[in-house]
Amino acid sequence: MKKKVLISLAMLVVIGTSTVFAQKVGETIQVSSQTYRVESNSGENVVLQLVPSLNGVLSRSDNPGVQISVNGSNGTYSSINSSGTHTLDAMNKGNIKVGGQVGPNIRSTGYLTWSGQNLSITAQSSAPDVATGTAWTNTTITMSADGRTITVTGAASGRGSYTETFTR
């Protein structure tokens, strides 16, 4: 019942604003700042599915004091209360800061997957807890089906590959 009401509401909003409703399977529409994808269209019934979004505040699972705010294609640090030695060192040296960009160029690559860049803290392999600076690295982002767990994977200079898990 809720889906039919939502679809009817979406159609009223679209028709009421004289906008052409997405007809083809795979097309997307915006309704009240949410994006929906057309899953099927039988002529009389159109089935929409909410397109997942990374938008919001994500807390690092192993270090909840590190939080990232994602809005559209960009992520910024919203909190850096870290117990991680290299993170604290980078913050004390001014390499990272609250409000600083941490994940630009985020773009969807499929259902529940994105790619983008990540501001990685660099270090030498002989001293991995001492920050030597930062570098932009390519990253892959995946979201769990319930939208609550986000996994970021990539590689950082002096630290090798990494996997970071965030929760909402």
> Same domain, yes or no, for 88 and 28?
no
> Same domain, yes or no, for 161 and 86?
yes
> Same domain, yes or no, for 143 and 83?
yes
Dump pLDDT digits (tens) for 38-71: 888 887 888 888 878 899 999 999 888 999 999 9
Total domains, the chain: 2
The model carries a pTM of 0.71
CA 146 to chain centre: 14
> Same domain, yes or no, for 107 and 137?
yes
Range of the domain at 161: 56-167
Dump pLDDT digits (tens) for 69-101: 999 999 999 999 887 888 899 999 999 999 999
> Same domain, yes or no, for 75 and 23?
no
> Same domain, yes or no, for 39 and 75?
no
